[in-house]
């Protein structure tokens, strides 16, 4: 049946070919999305070489006045949230600890990533998270390194002075 008679006595055309075409378009769009989603998931979970480890002496804490937004696709895939932003980080005990605001506005989400001496790889999404904090954390790490170097020099000088006595 191609049409029906409505209350006004006119025929409403229901074109089955048009409906089928629309459903096919929807099917193709969803198929393309599913392929892209699967590819993204595979890439995010792929292992890449880890270029460093965190020394046990490192202890750096930083809270961000302006939280750092995480890409929505990564937030959804990895954390099951449509919106997260990094509010604080800690590098301590060979770990990077992230604190996040979530879509409900609470600091309820935390993630800890170990970066140990024996680790050779991390997943790409972890690499991405680390890249977001680089501009803020590198100056702090450099200051800590300078403080350690200054303390090392001071201690060596103290030992030299004691040997002279």
* Domain boundaries defined on the chain: 11-43, 49-160
Q: Which stretch of 14-18, 104-108, 145-149, 158-162 has the lowest confidence by average pLDDT?
A: 104-108
Question: Any idea which residue has 């046990």 for tokens?
Answer: 56
Distant-in-sequence, close-in-space partners of 111: CB < 8 Å, separation ≥ 6 = 79, 97, 98, 100, 129
* Residue 125, H or E segment: helix 124-164
Kindly state the tokens that stand for 41: 């998931």
Single pTM value for the model: 0.76
Specify whether the CB–CB gap between 68 and 129 falls below 8 A.
no
Residue pLDDT, tens place only, 98-136: 999 988 766 578 999 988 878 889 999 999 999 999 999
Handedness of CA 118, 92, 142, 121 (dihedral sign): positive
């Amino acid at each position: 049946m191609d049409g029906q008679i409505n209350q006004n006595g006119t025929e409403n055309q229901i074109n089955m070919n048009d409906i089928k075409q629309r459903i096919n378009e929807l099917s193709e769009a969803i198929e393309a999305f599913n392929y892209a989603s699967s590819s993204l998931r595979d890439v995010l979970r792929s292992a890449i070489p880890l270029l460093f480890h965190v020394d046990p002496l490192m202890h750096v804490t930083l809270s961000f006045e302006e939280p750092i937004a995480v890409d929505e696709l990564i937030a959804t895939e990895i954390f099951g949230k449509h919106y997260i932003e990094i509010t604080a980080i800690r590098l301590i005990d060979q770990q990077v600890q992230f604190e996040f605001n979530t879509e409900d506005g609470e600091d309820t989400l935390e993630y800890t990533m170990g970066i140990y001496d024996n680790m050779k790889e991390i997943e790409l999404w972890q690499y991405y998270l680390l890249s977001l904090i680089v501009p803020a954390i590198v100056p702090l790490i450099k200051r800590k390194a300078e403080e350690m170097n200054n303390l090392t020099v001071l201690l060596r000088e103290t030992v030299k002075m004691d040997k002279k006595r």
